[in-house]
Amino acid sequence: MKHKELITNSIIALILVSLSVITMCFTPLAITASATPKPIYKGNGLNSSVSLMVNVYWGEEYLPDMLDTFDKYDVKTTFFVGGSWVSKNDGMLKEILSRGHEIANHGYLHKDQDKLDMEGNLREISMCHNIVEKTIGYKMTLFAPPSGAFSNDTLKAANNLGYQTIMWSKDTIDWRDKNAQLIYERATKKISYGDLVLMHPTKCTAEALPNILEFYKQKGIKADKVSNVIQN
């Protein structure tokens, strides 16, 4: 009987050891997988709003008209600015902030950050962060990767620096298609609460903006800052 109990106890011990080894092997993988933050493509739609996110590396000559239009419709939105642009247009950055808009990070040199290693990603994001904070005393918390190009290193770098990575759910493609009507259609067709609509300061975008905001107003859609649209 003692011999049988010994064998049984040995088998149980072996099973427990095996389970322990399996757990040790798989737990780190699970932790690693969940450690990479996710980019945000759209808000939850609970507050009946959308955001016109404006990426700025050029086109400053069209920003005054766009700012006046936002004022006319009492809209505050989010401008994702490039660090190298800020270095040459600090006055315009101060004007955007003075109008009550949200300032966000768009990297320093408009690099495809999916091609950068961790150090390169950290450098691009932190350099933009530093020049904006130095220029207007503003600490940004939202980051939009240039060209929408990102890797796990990009997401982790942004997260390590206290940023949420923002993408978009609708793209006006205004940098390519210089057509105000087309830009309007892309910003309004099948629009839904929580949408993040990407645009840039182009001549045709400035022309289309009043009609876009008027459409939202008529539909009872609030155009708002990205941070408000994505909040839970």
Burial status of residue 216 (CB atoms within 10 A of its CB: 0-12, 13-18, 19 or more): buried
Asked if residues 113 and 152 have their Cβ atoms less than 8 Å apart, the reply is no
The share of the chain scoring above pLDDT 90, in percent, equals 82
Residues 121, 92: contact at Cβ < 8 Å? no
In this prediction, residue 30 carries a pLDDT of: 32
Residues 6+ apart with CB under 8 A from 16: none
**CA dihedral sign of residues 103, 109, 112, 114:** negative
Non-local (6+) Cβ contacts of 175 within 8 A are 200, 202
Q: Please check whether residue 69 is in contact with residue 207, taking contact to mean a CB–CB distance below 8 angstroms.
A: no
pLDDT digits (tens, 9 = 90+) for 168-224: 999 999 999 999 999 999 999 999 999 999 999 999 999 999 999 999 999 999 999
